[in-house]
Amino acid sequence: MELFLMTVTTGLMVGGIYALVALGWVLIYKCSGVLNLAMGELTLIGAYVTLTFYQMGVPFILAVVGTLLVGILLGILCERIFLDKLIGEPILSVIMVTVGMSFFFKGVVQFIWGSDTRVFDPPVFALKPIEIGFLKVSSVYLWSFILSILLLLIFVAFFKFTRWGLSMQATADDETAALSLGVSARFVYAAAWAIAFMSAGVGGALLGNINGINISVGYLGLLVLPAVVLGGLNSVPGAIAGGIIIGLLQNLSGTYLDQYFPGGVKEIVPFAFMAVFLLFKPYGLWGWERIERV
């Protein structure tokens, strides 16, 4: 029982990070219709940028803020350079541009930072686990969870209460109507990419604290795809729920299935679960069901 509860808490907390990255993904899709396969590399960039700031002696929280700023810059640049010209192109072109971006980023990141595993040194979070009642939670997970929930709340508040956030919501709902009301579509696209870079960057920094940073952080970023598919592609609450479900699934399968299927069952289960799930609910939990006509 204790093992079960520990697994669930850990899963929940890792799921919080996935939810944060998934939010960025869904935002791009909702606002500009781009299906982004480069999310893994965005988390990778975020992780390395935070690490670089941290090694220059900047406190962790300020390093994260710095990552957010770099994220804004890179997001706008990316949107302008790669995706601005592709609005309205077929789905395959857009996806392959993001695949091209992901290769490009992966190559550049490895060129700059090498392929060895790097860790935050000195460790950011205390190694001693924190005890809540009878539960022991390692402080990395707990703080990551708190930080990601905090950022999620900030982003949601941004959409609900600021002018920019509202214009993004309007574009996501009905682009033509939003354009006719004077919302600048190009601004919204750039903002969506900036926010995606920010959320993925912070997600990467937090993931990097758990296992150290190497190219496999990018793979963890790929886990976001099952998460958004479970939630339905165009639902922000769905993305958050999907992220948490994937985190839970991953840890539960790691604990309970590993003895029956030794090896990398933890990495596979989200994808296998998603493939089966799609057979029964082709539009995810809260996705829009499109009725197609000829």
Partner 1 sequence: MSSVWLPCGDYHENYLKDQGWWQSSFIKVKMILLLAVVFLGIPFLAPEYWIGVATMVGYTSMGALGVQLLIGYTGLVTLGHAAFIAVGAYTSTMMILQFPWPQFMVDLGLAYPVSILVAGIVAGLWSVLFGLPSAKVKGFYLILTTMAAQFITVDFILTQYVSQIGGRGQAFSLPPGTIKIGPFVMETEREIYFLMAVLLTLIVIGLANLLRSKPGRAWVAIRDNDIAAEALGINIVWYKLLAFFVAGFTAGIAGAFWVSNTAALSPEHFPFFLSLWLVGVILIGGVGSIHGAIFGSIFMVVIMELLQMAVIPLAAYYPKLLVDFAYIKDAAFGLAIAGFVIYEPNGLAYRWWQIKNYFNLWPFSY
Q: Which residues bind partner 1 (CB under 8 A)?
A: 35, 82, 85-86, 89, 91-93, 95-97, 99-108, 110-111, 225-226, 229, 233, 261-265, 267-268, 271-272, 274-275, 278-279, 282-283, 292-294
Annotate 146-176 with DSSP letters as a single string.
HHHHHHHHHHHHHHHHSHHHHHHHHHHH-HH
What's the N-to-C CA distance of the chain in angstroms?
54
Nearer to partner 1, 65 or 95 (CB): 95
The two structure tokens encoding residue 112: 């700059």
Nearer to partner 1, 4 or 219 (CB): 219
The two structure tokens encoding residue 100: 């091209």
CB of 220 to partner 1, least distance (A): 13
CB of 219 to partner 1, least distance (A): 9
Nearer to partner 1, 121 or 258 (CB): 258
Nearer to partner 1, 85 or 136 (CB): 85
Report d(CA 238, CA 69) in Å as an integer: 27
Nearer to partner 1, 34 or 183 (CB): 34
CB of 224 to partner 1, least distance (A): 11
CB of 127 to partner 1, least distance (A): 31
CB of 157 to partner 1, least distance (A): 29
Nearer to partner 1, 131 or 289 (CB): 289
CA angle, residues 282, 288, 289, in degrees to nearest 5: 55
Backbone angles phi, psi at 131, to 5 degrees: -105, 125
- With H, G, I as helix, E, B as strand and everything else as coil, classify residue 118: strand
CB of 266 to partner 1, least distance (A): 10
Which DSSP category does 31 fall into? H
Nearest to 213 by CA among 109, 141, 119: 119
For 101-137, b/e burial (b = at least 16 CB within 10 A) is bbeebbeebeeebeeeebebeeebbeeeeeeeeeeeb
